[in-house]
Amino acid sequence: MAERNQKINPEFFQSDRNLRFRLFKDKLMFYVTGLCLLLILVPIFGILFEVFINGIIGFTPDVFTKAGGSPLDPNTGLLHAMMGTFYVSVIASFFGIPLGIITGIYLEYYGKGFFSNILRVGIDSMVAIPTIITGIVVFALIVLSMGSFSVLAGGIALAFIMIPIIAKTTEEMIRLVPQLYDEAGYALGLSESQTAFSIVIPLASRGIASGVLLAFARIIGETAPLLFTAFFSQSVPNNILDVSATLTVLIYQYGISPFEAWNRLAWVAALLLMLMNLGVIFITRVIFSENGVRPWTRIAEIIKIAFGGVIGEESAKEE
């Protein structure tokens, strides 16, 4: 018996030609798919690497204290652009966060029936609108009527982008709260609004907060909607009606300019922007990770909506 086990039947174990080819293909595809992963990771990490290196090389303390100026002036900084980004994102959040959340609550609580589905398609398509279009529409609406570029116009353009994203993510995140909590609220004799505000929305708050944070990360990285709204300038804005540079527009303007000093500052701005932007995403992911207290926060889902313009997904409410 022991001897029998040792012998190798060539017919049985050795592969026929077809199988040898299949196994070769199997092995080959291991390397091919691995190479593909490498090919997608190299540029992505290359970008991170280059931004860090070039950003650090160009960094001086002046960056935080000085506004812009002539490309020949060595003592210029990014203060004006940082203030501009601060203004536009605060204005956008001021309008965008509450309005977006309320719209999301509406969609989840009353958004049933034909009309609401039309509304939902409308919001979906606004999530996916090319942001340059938002920029020129707000230009026509605000800049033309007010007679000048302003950070207010920039902020409103960004709010236009923020609202549909927050509405979608809020709706999704409330929906993820299991039905049984609604029922628990009703069973306690709470009304619909009480159940909503004291039970369901607090349970969804992590998810909603993640949606808000990621929408914020998305808008601070936006350039196109600011090109013709907040526009560009070399001085620090004094109030919300001032025209101003922002980090993103500055990266664009300085990046395409022929001046080396400006190119250098563009990289520094890129580093600052990326630290803020990826920082917010990263923190959101860590604080509100799926393994956290509330298992029904789906960061990956929100990232898709906020950065991919990925829409139309509806997860079923858990029973």
| Alpha carbon distance 281, 160 (integer Å) | 20
The distance of closest approach from Cβ of residue 127 to other proteins in the complex, given in angstroms and rounded to an integer, is 9
Instruction: Assess 9 for contact with other proteins (CB under 8 A).
Output: yes
| Alpha carbon distance 252, 256 (integer Å) | 6
| Alpha carbon distance 151, 245 (integer Å) | 9
CB 226 within 8 A of CB 246: yes
| Alpha carbon distance 75, 72 (integer Å) | 9
Instruction: Assess 173 for contact with other proteins (CB under 8 A).
Output: no
Instruction: Assess 188 for contact with other proteins (CB under 8 A).
Output: no
The distance of closest approach from Cβ of residue 29 to other proteins in the complex, given in angstroms and rounded to an integer, is 4
Instruction: Assess 260 for contact with other proteins (CB under 8 A).
Output: no
Q: From residue 148, give the alpha-carbon distance in Å to each of 23, 52, 123, 243.
A: 68, 36, 29, 8
Which of positions 55-114 make contact with other proteins (CB under 8 A)? 99, 102-103, 105-107, 109-111
CB 315 within 8 A of CB 172: yes
Q: From residue 263, give the alpha-carbon distance in Å to each of 119, 250, 273, 285.
A: 44, 10, 15, 32
First to last CA, the chain: 58
Instruction: Assess 313 for contact with other proteins (CB under 8 A).
Output: yes
The distance of closest approach from Cβ of residue 188 to other proteins in the complex, given in angstroms and rounded to an integer, is 12
The token duo for 215 is 């929408």
Instruction: Assess 169 for contact with other proteins (CB under 8 A).
Output: no
Which of positions 192-251 make contact with other proteins (CB under 8 A)? 192-194, 196-198, 214, 217-218, 220-224, 227-228, 248, 251
Instruction: Assess 11 for contact with other proteins (CB under 8 A).
Output: yes
Q: Which stretch binds other proteins (CB under 8 A): 18-26, 56-64, 70-78, 180-188?
A: 18-26
The distance of closest approach from Cβ of residue 85 to other proteins in the complex, given in angstroms and rounded to an integer, is 11
Q: Which stretch binds other proteins (CB under 8 A): 82-90, 129-137, 174-182, 236-244?
A: 129-137
Among 67, 126, 174, 204, binds other proteins (CB under 8 A): 126
Among 89, 158, 176, 267, binds other proteins (CB under 8 A): 267
Instruction: Assess 145 for contact with other proteins (CB under 8 A).
Output: no
Instruction: Assess 309 for contact with other proteins (CB under 8 A).
Output: yes
The distance of closest approach from Cβ of residue 211 to other proteins in the complex, given in angstroms and rounded to an integer, is 14
Q: What angle do CA 192, 198, 200 make, to 5 degrees?
A: 70
Task: Kindly report the backbone phi and psi dihedral angles of residue 216, in degrees, each rounded to the nearest multiple of 5, phi listed first.
Answer: -65, -45
Comparing CB distances to other proteins, the nearer of 15 and 65 is 15
Q: Please report how the helices 260-287 and 299-308 are oriented relative to each other, as an axis angle in degrees rounded to 10.
A: 150
CB 144 within 8 A of CB 81: no
Instruction: Assess 34 for contact with other proteins (CB under 8 A).
Output: yes
Among 87, 139, 288, 296, binds other proteins (CB under 8 A): 139
Instruction: Assess 164 for contact with other proteins (CB under 8 A).
Output: yes
Task: Kindly report the backbone phi and psi dihedral angles of residue 9, in degrees, each rounded to the nearest multiple of 5, phi listed first.
Answer: -90, 115
The distance of closest approach from Cβ of residue 293 to other proteins in the complex, given in angstroms and rounded to an integer, is 18
The position carrying tokens 């990826």 is 278
